[in-house]
Amino acid sequence: MFDSGVGGLTVLHECLVSLPHEDFLYLGDSAHFPYGTKSAEELRGLVVANTEFLLDRGAKLLIVACNSATSAGADAARETAAEHGVEVVTVIGPEAEIAAAISGTGKVGVLATPATVDGGAYRRALEEQGRGLEVIEVSAPDLAPIIQNGFPFDQSVVDTVRFYCEPLRAAEVDTLILGCTHYPLIAPMLQRILGRDVRLVTAGHAIAAKAQRILEARGLESTAEGEGDYGFLCTGDVASFRELGTRFLQMPLGDVERV
């Protein structure tokens, strides 16, 4: 599994809960954070590099736990992994399926990074659901960096989140896709601002369920009875990754290898 930093640990958390017997290796490309403001060409290069690195480490299934990377480079990841006979799970499709299924009014919001919004992946994925949904996308260029670097959250963070929520409230969305794996950390704030009737859709649970289906279908599920191992790699500062990562994962990280 890889992400631009620690945000994908919100996905890993759900996978550890849903697939406790499996071993996981997480790569946080923190040296290149944030992904959300990079060009599509640059993102594709990073996606291929991360994919090849994890395949060389023996991955039997690859999870792209980053929305910006998925939007720009999902096809590149799949093409690279296919050469090794490995399937790829990405974050956007499963969220779109859930949002389309639970929206009562058909008004679905997407809060995401500029790279994700500009790539149009969520809009396409929601259109493919065949419900004629009204999609309201909000680009939040500084929200992921604020979340990654903003502990503890202060009033300025609340004001920024409220600003991004204004067009979503004006459009009266009843479902909001959190289109960045950092955003679950501010889910309580979003829920308070948008109101309790707006349903928030995150990637973690959907990704874990899809990963489990693929592993079972291909006969790759772990036969171990105890808890599996999980390890961490990062391309940036190890101490910072460990400190922030503990908050995102809600579990101890232990040793982190810099690569």
Active site residue 66: yes
Sheet containing strand 175-179, strands side by side: 134-139, 107-112, 175-179, 199-201
Of these residues, 15, 66, 165, 234, which one is catalytic? 66
Which member of 15, 165, 180, 234 is catalytic?
Answer: 180
What is the CB-side half-sphere exposure of residue 169 using CA atoms within 13 A?
A: 13
**Distance separating alpha carbons of residues 242 and 248, to the nearest angstrom:** 10
Contact (Cβ atoms closer than 8 angstroms) between residue 80 and residue 50: no
Q: Is 165 a catalytic residue?
A: no
Paired tokens of 241: 């990754």
Amino acid at 189: M
Beta carbons within 10 angstroms of residue 18's beta carbon:
15
Task: Please provide the size of the chain in residues.
Answer: 259
Catalytic residues: 66, 180
